[in-house]
Chain A
Amino acid sequence: MAKHHQLSTPTKTEEASKSESGLFSNYEMDARFYDEMFEANGQPREHCRILWETLNSMPIDQIVKMQEQAERSFLHDGITFSVYGDEGAQERIIPIDFLPRLINLNEWNFLEKGLTQRLKALNCFLTDIYTEARILSDGVVPVDLVYGCPHYRIEMAGVTLPHDVHVSICGSDLIRDNEGYKVLEDNLRTPSGVSYMLANRKAVRSSLRTLYRSYSIRSIGHYTDLLYQSLAEIAPSGISDPCIVLLTPGVYNSAYYEHMFLARDMGIELVQGNDLLVNNGYVYMRTTQGPRRVDVIYRRLDDDFIDPLVFRPDSQLGVPGLFHTFRLGNVAIANAPGTGVADDKAVYYYVPDMIRYYLAEEPIIPNVETYLCREPEGLEYTLDNIDKLVVKQVGESGGYGMLVGPHASPEEKASYIEEIRSDPKNFISQPTLDISRSPSIGEQGTIPCHVDLRPFILHGKKTRIVPGAFGRVALRPGSLVVNSSQGGGGKDVWVLEH
């Protein structure tokens, strides 16, 4: 059993073994969890051997110092996210765990195929439900699940988009257990984290440069080039050199650094709602040289706020008339409004069915086993097994609003059961996952921490994926939650050329 990350449900036979010398001398394995660096016998995996040897020859103080330096440089460079509490907004860095996670080329090729397949099916689904809705009439996905989803936008009905692209930017969260990779969720509205992926790479590469050079690692530095290309491809027809802008809610948004970073790296304007206006069916931005027409908006605010004339009337962040202009086809919005219906946690259950329905293929990367409380069997199973399950509200994200059964107190469980009974449609449950672990720097050496991956999948005329991901790690002892708002950190992910 791991020394520092005990889980409170030691239900399986524990087969602990230790890796060998140096930095890893106190690193404890647990057979329940796939280890990203070590085989079950404690030996480093073949593709991790150089990493293991190099790190073993480094004093821990040196690595801790590098980590601290990197975090200090994040603070100075403003690579932060905002957290709101009783004392107002605080700028925090996402702690970096300096030990990279390595993925070999075969694994990556598998993931790339699976993610491409998944996004293709999700875009088909969104095109379908806002036009013919065949998947609903054929009974593959329940009608009430889609039309009753708060993220389904009736206003999108009948809207056709260039190349049928509803989702241009997708961030899918992947985990691995002893059975292999699984998709935990898809983020199809305004997925974030890509700037931290790039910042982590820069920091780790410059500090561990000798190690970095000893591997052939695929580059991720061209992410913003691909993003720009994907956005340009969804511009209204007839526009060869579109004016693209990034629409941010402003500096108080938790992901503002990322908005700024992406706009700067793509060389596009970072606009707020009050910089834009609609006139004669087109969108313009206010510049020092007069109004300039805008063709593509990469929006980083939720549907609710993009147009007060159509969605929330009290929104100060959006642009009155924007949605009408979008419907006319005079401006593209990425991701399109209404994509949230496809990343709803209950709709997620049907993604494998969507792949079979639209693509006539078997899903390459499976979902995590999921029980829908809207179904009587799912509800019964969830209530009977709440001790073993993670229960989530379908509309929440970021690790909020969920109950981790094995860790919850009897009072918390009782209260949650009440909530489930009163509105079962709002809940799903999943088994407590044996999420894989990877070494992280602890006080006395390395410790195993649970990790996940968020690769970013782009889609314009075709699908593009940079070989890498925002690696997240649950740094809080005992935690399975990797979200940065709840004690998670970032981890560089190296996709190897060979």
Chain B
Amino acid sequence: MLSRDAQNLYWMSRYLERAGHISRLLVAQFDLIHDRPTSDIEKGWRRIYGSLHRKPAGANLMSIQDDDFIMLLDAYTLVDDLAFEPSNPDAVIGLFGKARENARQIRNILSNEIWSSLNVSFLGMKDTRLKDIWSGQPQDFFRSSSISVRTFCGIAEATMYRDHGWHFFRLGQLVERIQLTCSLLDTHLKLFPIKEQHWEMHWGGLLEICVARGAFRRLHSVEYNPDKVIDFLVGNILLSNSICHGLSEIQKTLQIISGTTGSRQPNEADWYIGKALALIEYEWPVRDKANDVSTLNILKQISSEVLEIDTQIDKTYFNYPIQSTSGP
């Protein structure tokens, strides 16, 4: 497969995964806005902006330091920033647009169904402005964009030929998901330390964002024990959105790709994925659960290994140096 095509597939799925994640963050935040006191709403905003490592465009203009923008900016401004702000590289609409641009580059290898699904979603939302939806049910817009991403992934699963393209598409999705989950858990734990008592909606909301609430309830019933929630999201191999499951899938996918590449050098990404899986397998179960720092350290290490995997994928398959005509 053409390296540029593989790269476009990889980034298309990363952008869509991110768009779906931010949409779900906003849906969860609307739940807080409707039901919870100001302090919870404020923490909800901090969770979003902290996990995305971002400040709203207005905060910079107003020279607001630290996280004080949360107190100074209203919900309309913050939602607008996260969903529609053109200068925000991770605004939901912008992410759909970028994914579509990636898809346009590789339309020749996408099925018509995949392209139409993404194109129709994008065309349906590209001219939407927050003022158009604010007076109604704005959360429906984000619920719908999250569903669009899931629908897209389902169509891709059903129609994509299982060549390298499919595997790079999967890699992008998995790498992005793990990085976003690590970052979300990191911010969440800092805002809601396990030892402290918190209203269960924060933990239920966390599961909702990670599309894990239903599965969690089937396993653990209705009690949102923070320890169990964290364990579920990180270490449950049966949960398709867990970090553990994602790492395991990355490993399998990389093995399929490198197994078909003949004379290639050993794949360094394999080494980093091994390290990340070892963390889950050996360090995660014995961490000091009473001490959040221990949990946060492991998450940080996993995130760092996944970042390396991303770098190695780029170096090995997309932008490798060409020494001779016999192959890299």
- Tell me whether A235 is interfacial, beta carbon within 8 Å: no
Contact with A along B100-126 (1 / 0, CB 8 A): 010011111100100110011001000
| Given A264-B109, A280-B325; A287-B2 close (CB under 8 Å) | yes
Is B266 an interface residue when CB atoms closer than 8 A count as contact?
no
A285 to B4, CA, bound (A): 10
B257 touches A288 (CB 8 A): yes
CB-based contact B322/A286 at 8 Å: yes
Residue in B5, B105, B106, B123 whose CB lies within 8 Å of A76: B123
Asked if residues B107 and A264 are in contact (CB atoms below 8 Å), the reply is yes
**Size of interface on A: residues with Cβ below 8 Å to B:** 30
A275-B108 contact given A288-B257, A289-B261, CB 8 Å threshold: no
Q: Which of B65-120 contact A (CB under 8 A)?
A: 101, 104-109, 112, 115-116, 119-120
A418 within 8 A of B: no
Q: Judging by beta carbons under 8 Å apart, are B3 and A286 in contact? A: yes
Q: What is the bound-complex CA distance between A284 and B325, given in angstroms?
A: 8
Select the stretch in A266-274, A354-362, A367-375, A475-483 that faces chain B. Answer: A266-274
Q: Which of A274-298 contact B (CB under 8 A)?
A: 274-275, 277, 279-280, 282, 284-291
- Residues of B1-41 contacting chain A, CB below 8 A: 1-6
* Complex: chain B residue closest to A285, CB-CB: B2
Least distance between B208 CB and chain A CB atoms (Å): 31
Distance in Å: Cβ of A286 to nearest Cβ of chain B: 4
Q: How far apart sit A287 and B3, CA to CA, in the bound complex (Å)?
A: 5
Q: Is B324 an interface residue (CB 8 A)?
A: yes
Known: A264-B108, A282-B325. A78 touches B261 (CB 8 A): no
The distance from the CB of B102 to the nearest CB of chain A, in whole angstroms, is 10
**A282 (CB) vs chain B CBs: closest residue:** B325
CB of A78 within 8 A of CB of B107, answer yes
- Do A289 and B120 contact each other (CB < 8 Å), given the known contacts A251-B101, A264-B108, A284-B325? no
Residues B120 and A269 in contact, CB atoms below 8 Å apart: no
Within 8 Å by CB of A291, from B123, B257, B264, B325, lies: B325
Q: Does A135 contact B (CB under 8 A)?
A: no
Name A241-284 residues within 8 Å CB distance of B. 250-251, 256-257, 260-261, 263-264, 269-272, 274-275, 277, 279-280, 282, 284
Q: Are B115 and A288 in contact (CB under 8 A)?
A: no
In the bound complex, residues from chain B placing their C-beta under 8 Å from that of A76 are 116, 119-120, 123
Is the beta-carbon distance between B2 and A286 smaller than 8 angstroms?
A: yes
A281 to B262 Cα, complex, angstroms: 24
**CB-defined contacts of A86 to chain B, threshold 8 Å:** none
In the complex, which residues 212-234 of chain B have their Cβ closer than 8 Å to any Cβ of chain A?
A: none
Cβ of B142 within 8 Å of any chain A Cβ, yes or no, is no
Q: Give chain A's interface secondary structure class.
A: mixed
B2 touches A77 (CB 8 A): no
Pairwise interchain contact A279-B1, C-beta atoms closer than 8 A: no
Contact in complex: A77, B3 (CB < 8 Å): no
Q: Measured between C-beta atoms, what is the minimum distance from A425 to chain B in Å?
A: 41
In the complex, which residues of chain B have a beta carbon less than 8 angstroms from the beta carbon of A271?
A: 2, 4
With A77-B119, A288-B257 known to touch, is A270 a contact of B108 (CB < 8 Å)?
A: yes
Residues from chain B with a CB closer than 8 A to the CB of A261 are 108
B115 in contact with A291 (CB, 8 Å): no
A140 on the interface (CB 8 Å rule)? Answer: no
**A78 to B261, alpha carbons, bound, how many Å?**
34
- A75-B123, A270-B108 known; A291+B322 contact, CB < 8 A: yes
CB distance from A74 to the nearest CB of B (A): 11
Q: Which of B106, B116, B317, B325 contacts A288 (CB 8 A)?
A: B317
Alpha-carbon distance A269/B3, docked complex (angstroms):
11
Question: In whole Å, how far is B301's beta carbon from the nearest beta carbon of chain A?
Answer: 29
C-alpha gap A285/B6 in the complex (Å): 13
Shortest Cβ distance from residue A271 to the other chain B in the assembled complex, whole angstroms: 6
Instruction: Determine whether B263 belongs to the interface, using a CB cutoff of 8 Å to chain A.
Output: yes
On whether A287 and B1 interact (CB within 8 A), knowing A78-B115, A279-B322, A282-B325, the answer reads yes
CB-defined interface of A305-346 with B at 8 Å, one 1/0 digit per residue?
A: 000000000000000000000000000000000000000000
Instruction: Please give, as numbers and ranges, the residues of chain A lying within 8 Å of B260 by CB-CB distance.
Output: 289
Q: Which of B107, B119, B123, B257 has the most CB of A within 10 A?
A: B107
B1 touches A291 (CB 8 A): no
A264 contacts across to B, CB distance below 8 A: 107-109
Distance A279 CA – B324 CA, assembled complex (angstroms)? 8
Complex: how many Å from CA A270 to CA B107?
9
Give the complex CA separation of A282 and B324 in angstroms.
12
Chain A residues contacting B115 (CB-CB under 8 Å) are: 77-78
C-alpha spacing A271/B105, complex, angstroms: 10
A286: contacting residue among B4, B119, B120, CB under 8 A = B4
Q: Any chain A CB within 8 A of the CB of B327?
A: yes
Contacts of B1 in A (CB 8 A): 287-289
Tell me whether B123 and A288 are in contact (CB under 8 A).
no
**Which residues of the other chain, A, contact B55 by a CB distance below 8 angstroms?**
none
* Complex-state Cα separation, A263 to B320, whole angstroms: 25
Closest to B165 in A: A288
Contact A275 B4 (CB under 8 A): yes
Asked whether, in the complex, the Cβ of B116 is within 8 Å of the Cβ of A260, the reply is no
Q: Is B325's CB under 8 angstroms from A78's CB?
A: no
Q: How far is the CB of A77 from chain B (nearest CB, A)?
A: 6
Q: Which residue of B lies closest to A293 (CB)?
A: B325
- The docked-state distance in angstroms from the alpha carbon of A289 to that of B4 is 12
CA distance A77 to B325 in the complex (A): 39
The reply on B154 being an interface residue by CB < 8 A is: no
**A275 contact from B2, B112, B257, B324, Cβ within 8 A:** B2
Question: In the bound complex, what is the Cα–Cα distance between A216 and B320 (angstroms)?
Answer: 54
**B109 — which chain A residues lie within 8 A by C-beta?**
264
CA distance in complex: A274, B262 (Å): 24
B165 CB → nearest A CB, Å = 9
Q: In this complex, which of B3, B5, B119, B257 has the most chain A Cβ atoms within 10 angstroms of its Cβ? A: B3
Ordered nearest first, which 3 A-B pairs have the shortest CB separation?
A: A290-B327, A264-B108, A263-B108
Assuming A257-B107, A289-B260, what are 7 further A-B pairs, CB within 8 angstroms?
Answer: A76-B123, A77-B115, A251-B105, A270-B2, A270-B106, A275-B2, A288-B1
Task: Report which A residues bind B (CB closer than 8 A).
Answer: 75-78, 250-251, 256-257, 260-261, 263-264, 269-272, 274-275, 277, 279-280, 282, 284-291
